[in-house]
Amino acid sequence: MKRDDMDIDEILKRYLPRAPQEEVEAAGERVLERIRSMRFPSAPAMLDAAEPPKTERLAKFRLAVLAAVDEMQGQGRPVTITLKVEELLEERIVSGSAVFLVLLFLERRGLVASSPIDSGDSALDRRYFEITASGRERLAVANAAATRSIDPLEDFA
C-alpha cells in the first residue's frame, strides 16, 4: 500500500517562500565574510595596520627563542623554552613545533648547542639547549640594534 506522498522537492516548492536571487547572493556573501572573519581574524587588520613584514616577525621570533635559551642558562628543554618565548613575546599561544624547529635551525647555525637530558637518550625533544658564544654575540648585536631603533634621537644633544 503506497501513499500518495509528494517528494521533498515538491513540498519545498509548494510551501516554502522563494527568495529573490539578489537576496540569496547577498546572504551568501555575508556568510562568506563571517567565515573569513572567524577563520582569518587578522587578515583585514594586517592590510590596514602598519605591522612588520613576515620576515621581521620571523626574525623577532628567532631572537625570542635565542633569548629564551639564554635565560634558561643551559637548562632549557623545548617545552620550557616555548613557555619562556610566550612570556618574552607576550603572546598567549606560541607553537611548540615552531619553537622546536627554530631550535634545530639555531643549532645547525651554531648559535645554540644541545645535550641529552639522560645519557644514552638520543631523542631530540629530550635535550637541554644552551646558547653558544656566537649565539650570545648575535643576541647582543640584535638587542643593541633594537635599542637604537627604539630611541633614534638618543645621541642627539
Residue 133 is which amino acid?
A
Distance of CA 33 to the CA centre of its chain: 23
**Distance from C-alpha of 52 to C-alpha of 156, rounded to nearest angstrom:** 26
Q: Is residue 62 a contact partner of residue 102, using CB atoms and an 8 Å limit?
A: yes
For residue 49, the model assigns a pLDDT of 47
For residue 47, the model assigns a pLDDT of 44
The 10 Å Cβ neighbour count of residue 69 is 32
Q: Please, which residues bridge with residue 112 across strands?
A: 131
Q: Would you place residue 5 in the very low, low, confident or very high pLDDT band (cuts 50, 70, 90)?
A: low
DSSP-assigned letter for residue 76? B
pLDDT at 11 over 50: yes
Q: Is residue 100 a contact partner of residue 57, using CB atoms and an 8 Å limit?
A: no
**Distance from C-alpha of 50 to C-alpha of 46, rounded to nearest angstrom:** 7
What mean pLDDT value characterizes the chain?
A: 76
Q: Single out the residue of 52, 59, 144, 38 nearest to residue 106, CA to CA.
A: 59
- The total number of residues shown for the chain amounts to 157
pLDDT at 51 over 70: no
Residue 151 is which amino acid?
D
Least confident stretch, 8-22, 44-58, 88-102:
44-58
For residue 45, the model assigns a pLDDT of 44
What are the pLDDT digits (tens) for 97-156?
A: 888 888 888 888 888 888 877 776 666 667 888 888 988 888 888 878 776 665 555 555
